[in-house]
Chain A
Amino acid sequence: MKEMKKIIILLCLFTAIIVNTSCEDQLNALPTQSKVDDNLIVDQKSAEVALNGVYYTYAMCGNDYYDVPSTMCFLEYELYPAMLSGLVGYYQGGTLQSHTVTAEDYYTSNLWSGYYKTLAAANGLIDQIRNKPDEWFSGSRKAEITGEASFIRALTHYNLMRHFAHYFDIDSPYGVLLRTEALKTSNISKSRSSVKESYDTILEDIETAIENCPTTSNNFYVNKWVAKGLKVRVLMMRGATGDYAEAASIAQDIIQYGPYTLENSLKTLFREKGLVSSEVMFAIKPKPDQNYKWSTYYYSNRVEYLATTTLKNLLENDPRVEWMIGTDGGDGSTLEDVMGSDRVGITKYGQLGSSNANWEINYQMRLSEIYLLRAEALVRSGGNKTEAKNLLKTIMGKAGITDFSAVDAAVTDEAILTQIFFEMEKNLVCECGQELDIQLRMPVAAVQTVNPAIGAKNYMILPIPADEFRKNPAIGEQNPGYTKE
């Protein structure tokens, strides 16, 4: 029996040794290369880093084909809207420019998932910072960070709105699939909201941003002036009673009190100054060594994205034709040569043949846009037409135009709006989609001169990707005119 006792004692000892070994800490060890929800925000500095992550996702940063870190958002923000607007075309054609996008299309899934990545980052931050003690933050920095994240969320919902929702119809049920909560596997499944709810959510976030964002900032971050600019855009988009008047007044507020001034030469802005220009309200700052944007516009020494005939027509007799578009001097050996295209590409950001830092900037908001929106809002709200025309002429003047006879000749609202429309198309092409937004506010006939492929408004917006219906059946209906598959 003694032996038995010994064994039992030993077994107990052995077990005790094991249990006392504190392994639980190790098993719960946090990853070394990543942060997790629990430790995302531990002080002001980490909150700033997380906020920068929200900008990072908005800029759609990633590595290019050569593994060079780059901002990669220009496809989504610049080129897709320009293609939908009929101003730019892919050399092999495609469904965006022909408005025949389907739910299985690469374009639609690309846009859709890119935006929701940004929302996931913004929601994660807003959720995490909410319960953090105020004393971790100096001054009003906690509110500012929340404000900036709210702004990005509003801007992203706005982007989703204009590509995937019937935003032109306030009573429509076809609004945005809004994401305002931190994502979990349990809340992935969600239905789309109505257009009205979508506008309400976007404007609520904009109000938070206007209230909380810092007053000034570098122009690759946002401040309350940029938030106000977004509010102008959204009000113009909604166009409900009083919206145009309010938009005009907020635009005036920005023009009058904001820290921005118009650049004297549009060419100088794009070709030389870039982010240094005091006109730039918000832009995506490229990575130091990237040339992804340039090499996409102009891949392997040939133009991939062509200036369409309508863009060429618009720029006819405009001094901008000299520098905003250009040829690659192809030798007729490529497919587009055979098909009779003249291989004229976009040279707004630089020469086709060489990359440079300015090529890579993606502009999100410039003061010129605010001028043009105020001009449009004035006309639409029955305001001062002369002032509207003057605003337009100011902007045209910066672009090098000296002959204002067409503007002067415009008398009716419609004629003035058409002039504003043309300028907006030329001035803001390939920036952040404003050339597309205004097309939906204009009569179809007017738009067709620029965008002959345009049909019913249904087809100016895109179908929700088929994958979303497969994996989130709760989303509801597809946009009218499109199928789920």
Chain B
Amino acid sequence: MVVVLLNNLIKTIMKLKLTTNPAKFWGVLVLIFILFVGTMNAQQINLDVKNKPFKEVLKTISDQTEYKFVYSDALKEINSSVTALFKNASVKEVFDSLFTKRGISYKITEKQVLLTPVNLVPSDKKNASGGSMEKPFEKKTITGVITDETKQPLTAVTVRNFNSKSYSVSNDKGEYSIVASKGDRLNFSIIGMVSKEVIITGETTVYNIELVQDNIALKDIIVVGYGSSARKDFTGSVSSVKADEIRTLPSLSIDDALSGRASGVAVVKADGSPGGAVRMRIRGASSLVGATDPLYIIDGVPTEVMNNYISSVELVNPTEAANYGEDFNSSISGSFARGLNNLSGLNTNDIESIDILKDASATAIYGSKAANGVVIITTKKGKRDSKPVLNFNYYYGVSNPIKEKVLNAQQYKNALIKAAQTAIVNIDANYASLSDPTAKMYFNIFTNSKRTNANKLLNTPDFFGDSDTDWLDLVLRQSATHNADISLSGGGQSSRYYTSLSYTNQDGTLIGTDFQRLSGKVSLDNDITKKVRMSTNINFGYTKNNITNGLYSQALYAPPVFSPFNEDMTYSSLGDLSSDYMGFQNPLAVANSTNEAKTYMLKGSLGIEVDILQDLRFKSTASIDFSSYNQLNYVPSYVDIGGFYGREDSQGGTGSQAHSTIANTFFENTLTYDKIFNSDHRLNMLLGTSWEDKQSSFFSATGAGYPDDDFLNNLSSAAQATSVKGSNPASRSTLLSFYLRINYVLKEKYLFTFTGRSDASSKFGPKNRVGYFPSGAIAWRLSEENFLKDVSWIDEIKLRASMGKTGTQRIGDHMWRTLYNVGSYADKSALIPAQLGNNEIKWESTVQKDLGLDFTLFNQRIGGTIGYYHKITDGALLNMTPAPSSGFNTVVYNLATIRNEGLEMDLRADFIHTRNFTWTGSLNIARNISKVMNIAGDAFSDPNDRENLNLGTSIVKEGEPLGLLYGRIIKGIITNEEQLNNYKSQFTEVLPSVHYWILMFPSLGIGSFEYELDEGMPKLDIIGNANPDFFGGYNNTFSYKNFALTTLFTFSYGNDLMYQKDVNDMSMSSLANRGVSVLDGYSETNTSSKRPISTYGTTNFLTNANIYDASYLKLKSLSVSYSFTPKVLNKLKLSGLLVYINGTNLFTITKYPGPDPEVSDDPSSIIGGGRDISAYPTTRTYTMGLRLSF
């Protein structure tokens, strides 16, 4: 009957088109499953009794089966007590076991069972003699205890009788009982252990079994949303990273440690800031206004990556200002954006496993938060019945900056003199070429100061100082890292614990920057009764970052001819350069600023789990994710700050203090129904609800005019408060969700997963408040089919297909409402319309389809996954500027459609596996192609201000991928007069006979760049694409006896990177220092150069000449470890000792001219982020460490 039902079910699934009516589809399925559960139950008996009177047991059976028992008082056994355990056993099994064993005979007529003592049964042939009988071993109940290697009993081990097809399960003392005949084959299996088989010999009925841990299988437990799954049963796409793989890596944050380890997961650390931000994208991005980082679930607590920075005083960023940029006051905010990472509060040594869920089937259980993928991080817990284990880890590392090369004093002077000479020659020649008096007048206006400055440089004796300062050497250093952590774990019969504490201190390679962390966790699991368990888990962390404020950029540009200090030991100024709007300053003075961020983090949860029935579990969890952030900024009086037109005086020192808190509370309830019906049918159902409430508050104050830069520079000492802001609560959003997941395994071959989630979010109006996110997946374990089952070299082949819908909701609160904000006029409060509500807005939804093939071959020696995905994000929210006559700047609409599709492959192989030597390797590679399918309106760069193209360096365009780089285009170098004159004539006329080049490039000449023009002005267009054609990593391990050598290579191919500093390095256009590449420019002796001639006073635009292929192959990490032998350990009274050395970022093969192609200027942006802005050098780090356990 069951089979028929299932066949129908499968047919139904096939008939229903997933796309036509998902709601109906799910409804039908759920109904079928419930029916199905009911039908199965009627057939079978479940019994779990201990020393229960026989009569009661009979009654229980009656209740379950409707059989009535008839017996006389002569049946003495009826007064004995019974211990038995049956799970879904057949009537015959149970009766055989219960009665025959006790010498009771039974006879079934209709619904009646007649019980009689064996000796009263009318004699049959076998017992005719009536004497004590040597009964042949027919069906007997086999019993025993199942334990692991440490003699701890194992619960829930499945015991199968392959011959009779019956099975049972061990209880919490490891006891089992099953009926078997002589010659029957019994199989004992549980996930995580190597299965064992015994053949019943007939000599005994007691078989005590010891199972050993299956190391390969153990890795194959996947933590999924609200539960876990065996990899073989899993229908979705997941990449898992185990703690072992990253334990010798000195990563300060967990996202950083994932670089190159999982296919389709692109990880780039923004720059070299200690503990800094990481750009992480799983299979492309699914939002334009919202964040595109994945959702992190840390021990069940959803965590979002965010930047806590609270805007403060700014410093001009000379690198950004070079592009005639709009956003050049970004030294501090940019450094914070790249330098802060709210995941860095977690101690990486506490992590047990990381599972990266990638397809919709796996992620849809997180519904509206899942479109960018989900990373589930599980930290360690105590193990049942294990003696206390004390672990101690320590490592020490040194980091060296990978730095740019700049001109020394002599090179600088020579280059500048030559640039000034070129400028004067060109200016004179260009003036002579003009005939029109107006043009000549304007030419003079635009060249007078250039000529004056060039002449001043050439004709002033002692124009240059005579120092030769290596500014980079003054601001950079070799930095040290110390990390120590200690953990204690253990557990008894009814309680388990894990506690840890870690301390990390890392100096930055830039002076004045560092990172400190104190973090730990406490985990406590208690079995209150046999059926009620309680677990407490607290992760806490304190981090302190001292963040750079653009010091490195300053050092790159500071002229080497100045000494750092004046004679009175005050900071020297940089001569004429000190008045440039681009904000060049003495780097050491800038280093004296304070930019400090302290973050306190607490993630705690308290859960209670109740076994309502044997197969039904209820779990209720309350958790909190709390963080408190403190920020301190101070710019001393002798450092200039950023203003509207560039540099400004800091008004006697400007400082700010800011504070914010975020508290997310979650209340989750789930019901899990886990049922193994028999060897053909397994079902796992999860039904849950969660309530989330997110609140934040902030406060900030800025003051200016401090009496002293070194001591009295706290906020109270400010002469005037320039700005005070704050709100508590600043924002609040809530989310109510219901979710359901059904996993069904048929004959261990066909796997089905269905999930559905509904989310109601306060971020949307009542009309569109609730979003539905269904998904379904089917997997087929080909290897279990008869035609492959006996192919010895195939362990597992699984085909997967899934489809589902997920969403994103990381947008601002109340975007659908018309809002009035508070202001003041005439010293009284005022309410002003601030936002026009659009109550039509709805969820951004992503429909993802996924195909995958998982395989393990040759006795686990080769394995891998090949996957294809196709993601369409529809209704991506965008802020549109409505007609200006509306009086509102932006209204949010669901406008854009983005498509991501890609291929991924993971391969791993156990190349050599001998007793002393093993060689394993794993390769992952992925390709993602994104396309903006449609957007209303023009191309844009800033999703919050559609009209603004002036991020300047990136653009979103319909029909093109995300991650485009934007700028001007050069045709090449002007090499002759004819070309020069022709070029000049093509410029637009600003005034009659005044061509645009007179204003913009008056010192144009041979060797200058020729820009491509559009209507007589330099044309702006797409000049590059920051997306790689493919990327991935290769992880290799050799181990010989107790030594292990692990290397990780990462690679990326076909991605462009915008080298922002290169814009300045194109020409000695100002007194600022340059990189050595400026020496390769065009000159009379170097006419084949692709770089322009240096002309003093003429800045170049950012062009395609500053875009470089940033493909690379990098030795990301290499470590050698040695674990001591048990012999040595015993002497040392230790249970484990591992020592290791590690090097990261050891070498890079790349054509990219900058120091490191693996950087990002804006880790959180989906549109930008494809620039190298040389703000903080990346590092090469060597670490030595040891891991001790007692």
Contacts and interface: CB of A to CB of B under 8 A. Distances in A.
Contact of B882 (A3, A50, A339, A471): A471
B824 A31 contact: no
B434 interface: no
28 contacts: A7-B37, A10-B616, A10-B671, A11-B671, A18-B738, A26-B736, A34-B834, A36-B818, A48-B828, A49-B828, A50-B820, A50-B831, A52-B828, A53-B823, A56-B824, A61-B823, A112-B884, A112-B885, A113-B884, A120-B886, A121-B833, A124-B833, A179-B887, A184-B836, A185-B891, A188-B882, A288-B827, A467-B881
A68 B723 contact: yes
Contacts of A289: 720
A14 B669 contact: yes
Q: Which of A6, A465, A471 has the most CB of B within 10 A?
A: A471
B727 A32 contact: yes
Given A26-B734, A53-B823, A188 B832 contact: no
Given A23-B760, A27-B760, A468-B883, A67 B722 contact: yes
A338 B882 CA distance: 43
Contact of B820 (A32, A35, A220): A35
A317 B884 CA distance: 45
Contact of A4 (B41, B729, B766, B825): B41
A285 B886 CA distance: 26
A429 to B, nearest CB: 25
A296 to B, nearest CB: 10
A116 B882 CA distance: 12
A55 B826 contact: yes
A468 B885 CA distance: 7
Contacts of A288: 827
Interface string A17-33: 11001010011110111
Contacts of B831: 35, 40, 46, 49-50, 52-53
Interface stretch (B230-238, B685-693, B965-973, B1134-1142): B685-693
Interface of B: 37-38, 41-42, 46, 63-64, 444-445, 448-449, 612-613, 616, 618, 643-645, 669, 671, 673, 687, 689, 691, 693, 702, 720, 722-723, 727, 729-732, 734, 736, 738, 760-762, 766, 769, 813-814, 817-838, 840, 881-889, 891, 947
Contacts of B825: 52-53, 55-56, 59, 61, 71, 285
Nearest to A8: B34
B830 A1 contact: no
A31 B813 contact: yes
B54 to A, nearest CB: 21
B732 A29 contact: yes
Given A14-B687, A27-B736, A339 B445 contact: yes
B887 A119 contact: yes
B820 to A, nearest CB: 4
Given A7-B613, A14-B671, A190-B885, A31 B445 contact: no
Contacts of B618: 10, 14
Interface of A: 1-4, 6-7, 10-11, 14, 17-18, 21, 23, 26-29, 31-37, 40, 46, 48-50, 52-53, 55-57, 59, 61, 65-69, 71, 109, 112-113, 116-121, 124, 177, 179, 183-185, 188-190, 218, 220-221, 285, 287-289, 299-300, 333, 335, 338-339, 465, 467-468, 471-472, 475
A476 to B, nearest CB: 12
Nearest to B888: A120
B89 to A, nearest CB: 14
Contacts of A121: 832-833, 887
* A-B pairs, 9 with minimum CB distance: A120-B887, A472-B883, A52-B830, A116-B887, A471-B883, A65-B644, A34-B819, A56-B830, A56-B825
A21 B437 CA distance: 82
Contacts of A68: 722-723
Contacts of A14: 618, 669, 671, 687
B192 to A, nearest CB: 28
Contacts of A285: 825-827
B821 A34 contact: yes
A32 B832 contact: no
Contacts of A113: 884-885, 887, 889
Contacts of A218: 826
A51 B669 CA distance: 48
A33 B722 contact: no
A71 B824 CA distance: 10
A66 B642 CA distance: 9
B57 to A, nearest CB: 16
A74 to B, nearest CB: 15
Contacts of A27: 734, 736, 760-762, 769
Contacts of B723: 67-68
Contacts of B671: 10-11, 14
Nearest to A7: B616
Contacts of B884: 109, 112-113, 116, 465, 467-468, 471
A4 B887 contact: no
A239 B779 CA distance: 83
Contacts of A28: 762, 766
Nearest to B37: A4
A349 to B, nearest CB: 19
Contacts of A53: 820, 823, 825, 830-833
Contact of B814 (A17, A31, A52): A31
A18 B732 CA distance: 22
Contacts of B613: 3, 6-7
A61 B64 CA distance: 78
A56 B833 contact: no
A379 B722 CA distance: 52
B885 A179 contact: yes
Contacts of B761: 27
Given A23-B736, A121-B832, A124-B833, A18 B762 contact: no
A88 to B, nearest CB: 20
A34 B823 CA distance: 10
A113 B890 CA distance: 12
Contacts of A33: 727, 730-731, 821-822
Q: Which of A31, A68, A118 has the most CB of B within 10 A?
A: A31
Contacts of B840: 185
B829 A338 contact: no
A80 B760 CA distance: 49
Contacts of B824: 52, 56, 61, 69, 287
Nearest to B761: A27
Q: Which of A21, A34, A289, A475 has the most CB of B within 10 A?
A: A34
A27 B758 CA distance: 14
Contacts of A471: 881-884
Nearest to A218: B826
A185 B838 contact: yes
B845 to A, nearest CB: 19
